[in-house]
Amino acid sequence: MTVARPSPTTESIAGPRVHWPLHVAVASVLYAALTLFALKPVLPQLYAVLPYPRSLELLPARDNWIQLSWNDELLTAAQLTRNARRMVTAPWRLWDNGQCYPMANARALGEHMLGMGLRGTVPYALTGDPVATTNVVLITLPWMAGMAMYALVAYWTGAPGAALVAGLLFAFQVPRLTNLVHPYVEANDWTVVALLAAHLLFARGTWPTAALLASAIALQTLESFYPVLGFAVLGGSYGVYLSIRYWRRVPSLLPKIIAVLLVTGVVAALVFTPYVRMRNAWGGAVGGRNTLLYDVREYGYRGQAWVGTVTAALMAMALV
């Protein structure tokens, strides 16, 4: 005679119940406090000063890095605020915009900062001030990055401690806090949201998750080309992994995947087509930089793009 195997308890499957609202609130407050501490010099003068890393003062004075960075920061504040103002007051004129406006196709002569402008719409609507708008955007960037990574790791692991640490490491990495003059370069928080949405789409197969994925990719595309390039590598690899893991669901997911690709293609065309047209029209006159950011050899040991010995060791441990 056989006896039916007892069904496992809830605790044996999911472990102790986690009070997520409390943990999320703690992470949110902690990330906000650390962000305000990191940018505390601008808080008393939100309308008057812009932050820059003190490390610039250690560089040779003859290279004039502080002045060069200040020029870039002024350009960032101007273009960010211009985009925010257009989005608030005349969004239909957003594409007729850019650093060299009113020149035709001016947006293709530099960083478009459309994503930065979108982040600045609320502070600009409230303050109408370019310096305050830029500072608020800079303050929210680490917090948004931390919360995005917190959500992804919480979903992956179900462990609030792991999510908290991952959010801290991602939000307060050195480049994000030191490259304040080029915030669009470090604006990769939408990549994390896209990874989470992609996993949800393959796991649940719903239209809301497809809409979340399309929105996250579109918002990441509105940022600089630099994080988009990183997203293409990371997101593409993760997409292949999900397709293999959930291969039985791929046929039923095809309509949603096609919809996501269509939205992505339309947004990418709107953002990057002006650059292609400008390059075709002007050729090398708008060049001056290599097509690849680094030579392949630079990714080797001690090259400029070498990830670091400690990072490489941690990657090897993770693979094992």
Helices (H), the chain: 10-14, 20-38, 65-89, 114-119, 121-127, 130-157, 160-171, 174-178, 189-204, 207-221, 225-245, 250-282, 309-319
Q: Which of 205, 278, 280 is nearest to 248 (CA)?
A: 205
Q: Which pLDDT score, from 0 to 100, does residue 253 have?
A: 93
Give the C-alpha separation, 268 to 220, whole Å: 10
Q: Which of 46, 120, 111, 127 is nearest to 81 (CA)?
A: 120
169 alpha carbon, distance to own chain's centre? 14
Q: Which pLDDT score, from 0 to 100, does residue 284 have?
A: 63
Taking each helix axis from N to C terminus, what angle separates 160-171 and 130-157, rounded to the nearest 10 degrees? 150
Give me the tens of pLDDT residue by residue for the chain, a chain 320 residues long: 444 444 444 333 445 688 889 999 999 999 999 999 999 999 999 999 888 777 777 777 666 777 788 888 888 999 999 999 999 998 888 877 777 777 777 777 778 899 999 999 999 999 999 999 999 999 999 999 999 999 999 999 999 999 999 999 999 988 888 888 899 999 999 999 999 999 999 999 999 999 999 999 999 999 988 899 889 989 999 999 999 999 999 999 999 999 999 999 999 998 888 888 877 777 665 555 555 566 778 778 877 777 778 778 877 887 78
Give the C-alpha separation, 302 to 289, whole Å: 23
Q: Which of 276, 195, 279, 277 is nearest to 230 (CA)?
A: 195
Give the C-alpha separation, 2 to 206, whole Å: 41
Q: How many residues does the chain have?
A: 320
Report whether the peptide linkage leading into residue 51 is cis, meaning its omega lies within 30 degrees of zero: no
Contact 150, 163 (CB under 8 A): yes
Residues 6+ apart with CB under 8 A from 252: 205
